Structure 1
Amino acid sequence: MPKSLARELERDEGHYPFELWDRFTDAGFHGLGIDEEYGGLGGDVLMQSIFAREVSRSLAGLLLVWMPTSFAGAKSIGSYGTPEQKRDFLPKIAAGDCRVSIGFTEPGGGTDVLGALRTFAERTEGGWIINGEKTWCTGAHVADYILLLARTDKNVEKRHHGVTLFFLPAKSRGVSTRLLPKLGMRSIGSCSVTLQDVFVPDHLVLGEPGCAWYMLLPTLNNERILVGAQCLGTIDAVLEDAVDYAKTRKAFGRPIGQFQAIQHYIADIATWQQQTELMLHYTAWLQSNNMPCGQQANMLKMMASEAVGRAADLGIQILGGMGYSAETDMQRYWRDHRILRISPISNEMVRNSIAESFGLPRSF
């Protein structure tokens, strides 16, 4: 898909690009990572990451048309859904008939998902009544379902106990969404979601009630790996555009690619590209072989999000005024990826976790 498509789609901020979703549907891409018995294409996270990289090279943040449904829907249900839930939902996801958002973050929480978790689900006949509020739910305004984390038991010894995952129908009575204005990924709406006495039947609970946190780890690792792939694909695009401009743009009577400063910038971007690629493939290989990869997934997300930010910033510098112009893509590459140093987990928290793994005391 041409890069010009992304510029065209984001001109109408808040307009969800259904046409792009439909293109992915026609190509069968929503079936990546879903077993063939459920109508999918099969494949593992390594195949998904290759796809995510290639899409991001043209579309950057518009990969988010595909990604939340892949990890929040297909990965979650495929990992810990019941046989009935798999039969009900995986064929619909693979066919492009089901969009999924994720509802973990709360207004007072950010990275502190568990500490700030106030959304509460109370038992009732045949299901649960949920009240609370979520924020930064990607595509919730057009979603069919929201993978929702809620507390179901307040009397627990540890805060990761007593939390439950729900596959919440997004158009349920009592669910309301509001679009949030933002810097990047403008046509991929991010929403606040308010839940007021929302009923969710028992058959839409994923896994065992109260035990959601450890179940979530494969989903969270998958998300971080795909974030790394998205960043790598955009670094590919930055390098491609920067080299092309350096070869064709002339100043002081010669191509700017002849200037040593420009050459150093391009060498740095190429080096970050290679580093990110190696870490991505290693981490995806670990998860594909059911090996522990939580630390590596965090490291990948951290280094990739910082590398793409540095690369896009240098890309803007190389293009000069045209890098700042909405007529080119460099500014879009930077805008779409600035959030990834904050989300889905802040890079500062990633560094805390890495340090703690070496026996240093917990800092939060």
Structure 2
Amino acid sequence: MDFSFTAEQQEFRKVVRDWVEKNCPKNVARDLEKEEFAYPFELWDKMSAAGLHGIGIDERYGGSGGDIVVQAITARELARSLAGLTWVWAISSFAGAKSVGLYGSEEQKERFLPELAQGRLRFSIAVTEPSGGTDLLGGMRTKARKVDGGWRITGQKMWSTAAHVADYLLLLAISDEEAPKRTQGKTLFLVPADSPGVETRQIPKLGMRAVGSCGVFLDDVFVPDDLVLGEVGRGWYTLLGTLNNERILLAALCTGIIDGVLEESLAHMDTRTAFGRKIGQFQSLQHYIADMVMWQKQAELMVFNAAWLQSQGKPCGLEANMAKVVASEYANRAADLGIQILGGMGYAAETDAQRYWRDSRLLRIGPISSEMARNSIAESVGLPRSF
């Protein structure tokens, strides 16, 4: 068994880390998030110029190739500095590139993938609803009605990241109210965000600032037939591959947050003195660091195990859920200890510990709550369905 990166993957990781240090170090991330409702277009453009949006897109469509392992390396290295701002890159990567690349028609791939690879298109995922939350399918109310040449969609979505600046929404809606199962009768659409009847409103929130989280309102929005992604009525099954990809990338992002917390904590412990010596000599603080290092390794192993399985075309839903739970909970615990290590300065906006904590806190809730993921994990070993 070989758990190490290949030489090519190691070199790629170094290239991304060097790019991050030059273009978006931690102080830049702190400055960007001060303006909660100002999307960081400059950061997006830098990512476009570096070719980051082409990662995971087949070279024949203008991308740079790379599998989910490469995407996870990218997410981790970005998050070490950017934390939640990593979604500036990741959302279009899985909501657009992954979804269209997996399930799009050849015409859709030729239409969207080159533009995505060049950073000329932004996507947002519009699946969660106000009445549903974790009960995604049971709480769905958004409906798509078939008309000549397309569909008319009416409803509301919540927590659609960067929908206010997106060109397209990856949107799931009920297309057949008579379907016998709730996993059936849903269709996935690529909705132009500037369509008449689409309105977005940003949601003020604790963390994940600047990238923007939105409510999306759809009032009789027309979507042509050629913007249906996958088969009509099988949108949920189409979406599953995207959701697995999202959970793996989220877990990689959380691992990057642990990396960043460790860096900041160790730097502070090496320079801060109290009671006549550096606080890095204090046993209790050393134990905090030891815990973080163990959490970091556990998260890393689980993330890249899930990524490797997906890259091999093997089932990975269980592994993606486990990686998401472990990495998100450890990231939040590490960030909390990071604040404790820095003391009062850990609570100050001029340091990163509080930013890592705020951003990682949401990731224990979405895109799937830790509780719901645990339900799925428990079912995998034969326990009865609990919801």
Whether TM exceeds 0.5 here: the answer is yes
Q: Which of residues 75, 80, 83 in structure 2 aligns to 1:60?
A: 83
The answer to whether the 8 Å contact 2:29/2:82 transfers is: yes
The structural deviation recorded for 1:157 is: 1.3
Matches for 1:284-363 after TM superposition, within 5 Å:
284-363=307-386
Q: Which of residues 133, 152, 170 in structure 1 aligns to 2:156?
A: 133
SS at match of 1:239: helix
Gaps spanning 5+ residues in structure 1: where? none
Matches for 1:89-238 after TM superposition, within 5 Å:
89-238=112-261
The answer to whether the 8 Å contact 2:130/2:158 transfers is: yes
SS at match of 1:110: coil
Q: Which of residues 277, 281, 287 in structure 1 aligns to 2:300?
A: 277
Q: Percent identity?
A: 64
The structural deviation recorded for 1:358 is: 1.4
SS at match of 1:116: coil
Letter in 2 for 1:95: Q
Instruction: Give CA deviations for 1:296-355 in whole Å, capped at 9, x if unaligned.
Output: 000000000000000000000000000000010000000011011100001000111111
Instruction: Give CA deviations for 1:195-216 in whole Å, capped at 9, x if unaligned.
Output: 0010000000001100111121
The answer to whether the 8 Å contact 2:69/2:307 transfers is: yes
Letter in 1 for 2:175: T
The answer to whether the 8 Å contact 2:188/2:238 transfers is: no
Letter in 1 for 2:265: A
Letter in 1 for 2:310: Q
SS at match of 1:128: strand
The structural deviation recorded for 1:261 is: 0.4
Q: Which residue of 2 aligns with 1:14?
A: 37
RMSD: 0.6
Give the TM-score normalised by the residue count of structure 2.
0.93
Question: How far apart, in 2, do the equivalents of 1:230 and 1:312 lie?
Answer: 13
Q: Which of residues 67, 73, 87 in structure 1 aligns to 2:110?
A: 87
Question: How far apart, in 2, do the equivalents of 1:281 and 1:15 lie?
Answer: 33
Question: How far apart, in 2, do the equivalents of 1:282 and 1:357 lie?
Answer: 18
Question: How far apart, in 2, do the equivalents of 1:334 and 1:13 lie?
Answer: 16
Please tell me whether residue 23 in structure 1 is matched to residue 46 in structure 2.
yes
Question: How far apart, in 2, do the equivalents of 1:159 and 1:281 lie?
Answer: 32
Give the TM-score normalised by the residue count of structure 1.
0.99
Please tell me whether residue 245 in structure 1 is matched to residue 268 in structure 2.
yes
Structure 1 stretches of at least 4 aligned residues deviating more than 4 Å after TM superposition: none
Instruction: Give CA deviations for 1:129-168 in whole Å, capped at 9, x if unaligned.
Output: 0000001000000000000000000002110110000000
Question: How far apart, in 1, do the equivalents of 2:249 and 2:155 lie?
Answer: 29
Letter in 2 for 1:335: R
The structural deviation recorded for 1:64 is: 0.6
